[in-house]
Every structure is written in C-alpha cells, then in structure tokens.
Amino acid sequence: MPGPSMADDLRLPFLAAEPWRVAVISPTGRYARNQVAGMLEAGTPLIAGVALGRGGSTLDGLPLYDRVADLPITPNIALIYTPAEGVREAIAECTAARIPTIMAAAEYVPVHDALPAAAAARAAGGWLIGPNTLGVFVPGKGLLGSIAPSFCSRGRLAVIVRSGTVALALARQLTLAGVGQRIVVHIGGDSVIGRNPHEYLQALGGDEATAAVLYCGEIGGDKEYVFAQAARGFAKPVIAMVVGRQAPTQKRMGHAGALIDGVRESAAAKLEALADAGCLIAKNLEDVVSIATRLGLD
C-alpha cells in the first residue's frame, strides 16, 4: 500500500530526529571510494554498500550486498554513485525499498531516464537529491556526498544552491564571517532534478531550527520563478542570489541546467521576480554575508 506523499506535508526526511542509516550504491569506483572515505571521516553512519557480484565481501570496511533488497537493515538514506546510465535503475531499486532520502551524484543523466525516475521517487514519497549533486551537509549530523565539512559551521541559515562550486564558496564565506548553517544543499545541476528549489523552501517552513533561508539560483530554466511564488509571504526571511549575470545568451555555462534561452531566463529578470516576491536580494557573496549579519544570524 503506498505511503503518504511528501507533497501533502513537505518535510526534509534527512532532518528528522531518526538516526541516519546510510547505504552506498556502487561504492567501488575511484570517485565513490573517495566519497566514502570522506563521509566516514566526517562521522556519517554508513551501514553497507550495494555492488552486484560483490555480495558477501567488504570494501573499505563496508559490508557489500548484491542488491538493495538484500540489505539486512533497511537504510533511510541511499547514495547512488552509478554512472549516469545506471541511475534510473538504481533509483527504482531504492524507491521500491521505500528509502525516504535518495541522492544521485552522476552528471548528465539522460532526460528520458531522469524524468520517470524523479516521478517514481516523488510518487513513493521519497526525497531525491540530484542528479548531478555534491550532496548535503548537516552540521552536527553528518555529510552526504562531498560538501567539505571544514567549510561549514552549525547555525540557523539554510543554504539551498543550484551550483556545486557556489555552494562550497557560500558555505566557506559564511563560516568565515561567523554565519552558521542549518544545512548546505546542492540540489543538483542537471536540467531535471528530483526536488526543485521551491520544495526545499516549503519543507523548511516548518523546520524550527531554520531562522532564514538563502537560495542561490542561476541562469536558465524557470526554477527561480516557481521559487519566487513560494517565497511570497514566506514566514521566514529569504535571501536570494542568482549567478551568471554576465553570461551570454544561448551559451551553456557549466552544466546542463545553466543556459539562457531568452530574456526571461537571464539573471536580471529572475532577480527582479525574486525581489518582487519579497526576497532580500544579494548580488554577490559579500552581500550575502552582509544581509545574513543584518538579520542577526552571526
């Protein structure tokens, strides 16, 4: 019988009081093994890895199983490190197991795979982070992916970012300025991702540990316009920044989600919509720190 849809009562499942139980899907590649090492160092509770044909063995201290269904303990978080062409099947396995938080690291997942995978995860009540994500860091709780813990500090500002590089830069500058973070999330840089910025905003509305939200968007697509609608009348202060103000039209900047196709998708137009919705507009990192300090978040 289907579980409750998170669309009915949006919450970030990885912020729940329940302890994390994290499984790593396809942990055997070089990139994934480096990620595993970093997460173990950060204290993330990894319980197992899933690698077809390697069941019964161990890797870097992790017991391995052939399939998600074989895990003796059901994880509440799954981190997927398959190549792009394997992401759809991996998400399907995790969705079938009713894992509430799923993260897919791979970049350039084919749209015809990403769309049904994201829809299936959503229909099952899951929260899919990515594809094409550095992951999440929750100060005081743990690391999912590769956001540097040393760049972050514990606080009350929830940081939601479309660009991985910018997520790292923001966390570092905020920490240096004494502005701690509730979470730092790179939501994913592909054109199709599991959960969009406005959903993170809505989910943080009921999070008592979040005093304000920082959203950093970018050129391309319409995610910032939907976010602006959600921000209108939001009960907590929302700081908004859009990178790519100098980007030319019809030129992809960085990844699949960053491409201006007309004036509406430019940084200037998006900033205007966000300002009209009541967001506090930051033009650069220095503005972000200044506004956060003015809000008493330092």
Residue 34 pLDDT more than 50?
Answer: yes
Residue with tokens 């973070």: 181
Neighbours of 135 (CB within 10 A): 23
Average pLDDT, integer, range 216-230: 93
Helical H runs in the chain? 30-41, 87-96, 111-123, 164-176, 197-204, 223-231, 267-276, 285-294
Residue 253 pLDDT more than 60?
Answer: no
Which pLDDT score is estimated for 5? 38
Average pLDDT, integer, range 127-133: 98
Which pLDDT score is estimated for 189? 93
Average pLDDT, integer, range 269-298: 96
Domains 13-129 and 135-294 share a fold: yes
Average pLDDT, integer, range 235-243: 97
Residue with tokens 């929750």: 138
Model confidence at 262, pLDDT cuts 50, 70, 90, reads low
Which pLDDT score is estimated for 286? 95
Which pLDDT score is estimated for 267? 84
- Which pLDDT tens digit goes with each residue over 64-89? 999 999 999 999 999 999 999 999 99
Q: Please, are residues 220 and 259 in contact by the beta-carbon 8 Å criterion?
A: yes
| Residue 174 identity | L
Average pLDDT, integer, range 206-222: 94
Q: Determine the Cα–Cα distance for residues 175 and 181; give it in Å rounded to an integer.
A: 8
Looking at domain 13-129, which CATH architecture does it have?
3-Layer(aba) Sandwich (3.40)
Largest Cα–Cα separation, the chain: 57
Q: Determine the Cα–Cα distance for residues 206 and 210; give it in Å rounded to an integer.
A: 8
Phi-psi category of residue 148: left, alpha or beta, with phi > 0 → left and psi -120 to 50 → alpha? beta
Omega of the bond leading into 248 within 30 degrees of 0 (cis) = no
Residue 130 pLDDT more than 80?
Answer: yes
According to CATH, the superfamily of the domain at 135-294 is: Succinyl-CoA synthetase domains (3.40.50.261)
- Which pLDDT tens digit goes with each residue over 7-29? 447 899 999 999 999 999 999 99
Average pLDDT, integer, range 99-108: 97
Active-site option among 112, 186, 198, 255: 255
Residue 260 pLDDT more than 50?
Answer: no
Average pLDDT score over the chain: 92
Neighbours of 274 (CB within 10 A): 25
- Which pLDDT tens digit goes with each residue over 165-210? 999 999 999 999 999 999 999 999 998 999 999 999 999 999 999 9
Active-site residue, 255 included:
yes
Domain ranges for the chain, please list them: 13-129, 135-294
Which pLDDT score is estimated for 254? 52
Which pLDDT score is estimated for 219? 86
Structure tokens at 220: 């391309």
Model confidence at 221, pLDDT cuts 50, 70, 90, reads confident
Higher pLDDT, 160 or 248: 160
Task: Average the pLDDT over each of 226-230, 233-237, 263-267 and give the range with the smallest value.
Answer: 263-267
Task: Average the pLDDT over each of 46-60, 123-137, 173-187, 232-246 and give the range with the smallest value.
Answer: 232-246
Query: Considering just the CA atoms, what is the radius of gyration of the chain in Å?
Result: 18
